[in-house]
């Protein structure tokens, strides 16, 4: 596995592995925006883009992992954790925040294993599925 900065040339590959993009084409516009304006990283396996992560500072000026997406064919291989660890290494002396839906048990478990702590929740983004906020101390 290799993790590297994402480039605009990765746009098509990122859209292809993003499970939301398959149902919501506007997600590809969001990916293009992330590639242009955020700190985006991809994980490759044998030269194939398998996962990506997005770091922004739009969360009250704090580093925030806005997205971690692992292609369906590459799940349960540790790529999500590897992307998060890589992003952590980019901001070693800062608090780091992220979030996931309460229904996403796999992501909640991964946050716990990586030393993230619960930090609150936001209701009413997705009906009946609150967004849980997590953070990791430097």
In what order do the strands lie in the sheet containing 2-5? Answer: 2-5, 39-45, 48-59, 62-70, 96-101, 131-136, 117-122
Give the pLDDT of residue 22. Answer: 87
Give the pLDDT of residue 27. Answer: 96
Give the pLDDT of residue 38. Answer: 78
Mean pLDDT for the chain?
95
Q: Going from the N-terminus, what domains does the chain have, and what CATH number goes with each?
A: 2-136 (3.40.630.30)
Nearest to 48 by CA among 71, 20, 78, 21: 71
Report the interhelical angle of 79-90 vs 105-113 (nearest 10°).
Answer: 50
Q: Tell me how crowded residue 37 is: count the other CB atoms within 10 A of its CB.
A: 11
Dump the DSSP string for 113-137.
HTT-EEEEEE-SSSTT-PEEEEEE-
Strand 62-70 versus strand 2-5 pairing type: unpaired
Q: How many CA atoms lie within 13 A of 47 on its CB side?
A: 0
Give the pLDDT of residue 75. Answer: 93
Q: Summarize pLDDT for 84-106 with one digit per residue, the tens.
A: 999 999 998 889 999 999 999 99
Mean pLDDT of each 10-residue bin along the chain, 138 residues long = 96 96 93 92 96 95 96 94 96 93 96 97 95 96
């Amino acid at each position: 596995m290799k993790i590297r900065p994402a480039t605009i040339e990765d746009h098509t590959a990122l859209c292809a592995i993003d499970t939301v993009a398959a149902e919501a084409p506007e997600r590809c516009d969001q990916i293009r925006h992330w590639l242009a304006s955020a700190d985006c990283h991809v994980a490759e396996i044998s030269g194939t883009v398998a996962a990506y992560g997005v770091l922004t500072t739009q969360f009250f000026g704090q580093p925030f992992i806005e997205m971690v997406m692992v292609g369906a064919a590459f799940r349960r291989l540790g790529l999500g954790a590897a992307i998060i660890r890589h992003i952590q290494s980019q901001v070693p002396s800062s608090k780091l925040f992220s979030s996931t839906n309460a229904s996403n048990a796999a992501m909640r478990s991964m946050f716990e294993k990586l030393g993230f702590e619960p930090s609150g929740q936001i209701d009413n983004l997705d009906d009946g599925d609150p967004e849980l906020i997590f953070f990791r101390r430097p």
